[in-house]
Amino acid sequence: MKRYKWNEWITSLTAFLKHRVYLTLSPTLLLALHVPAKDKQYELKHKTYGEDGQCVFCKLANTSESLIYEDDLLAAFLDRKPLGKDYIQVVPKFHIKNINDLNESHIALIERMWEIGLRLLKERKPGEQYYFGFHVPPRNSIDHLHLHCIVLPIKNLCDRLSHNNWLWLMSPKDVIAKLKNERHIRSNINARLL
């Protein structure tokens, strides 16, 4: 009798949920799937906005010398707590709270963030495996849209589980599919109303 491997079962279950079920759920219902962290709203506000009331990522993206990439729309910087061999955050220079605030007009922005993150990782660590993900609210660490760009492997088991298998990180590909799916649903509703 074959011994059952729990990590394979968890990986396949979460992949099914992400790719089959998750994309069809509304943002309101998604909140019910997550167990909210204690004092999450206070924690998000405290981490997102500095003492001067400005968003930390907006300020960093628009004024910092520690940027490794910058253009009119985006900025990239090294994460201060690297999870893998290399760890970059790509952020828009204007404030977007999280992936729930996106619509189909943001597809090009998501694609551009992914493209920049991939290019930077390939320049810094060529020939490696890369991982990309956006936080899914309410499991976001800061209320400013940011793309995690990580060179694998992720260092410790807890981080590996939270970044690879669970529902609170969504790949750029899945975010784009979600936005296209929402556009398709809206066009079907509009067609029925006419």
Closest CA to 100 of 172, 184, 28: 28
Q: State the number of CA atoms in the 13 A half-sphere of 76 facing the CB.
A: 21
Query: What angle is formed at CA 79 by the lines to CA 69 and CA 123, rounded to 5 degrees?
Result: 45
Q: Catalogue the E-assigned strands of 29-125.
A: 67-70, 74-78, 86-92
| Contact in structure between 171 and 136 (CB atoms under 8 Å) | no
Catalytically annotated residues: 148
CA–CA dist 194, 185 (Å, integer): 15
DSSP assignment of 149-175: EEESSPSSHHHHHHHHTSTTEE-HHHH
Question: For residue 103, how many other CB atoms are within 10 A of its CB?
Answer: 10
CA–CA dist 41, 157 (Å, integer): 27
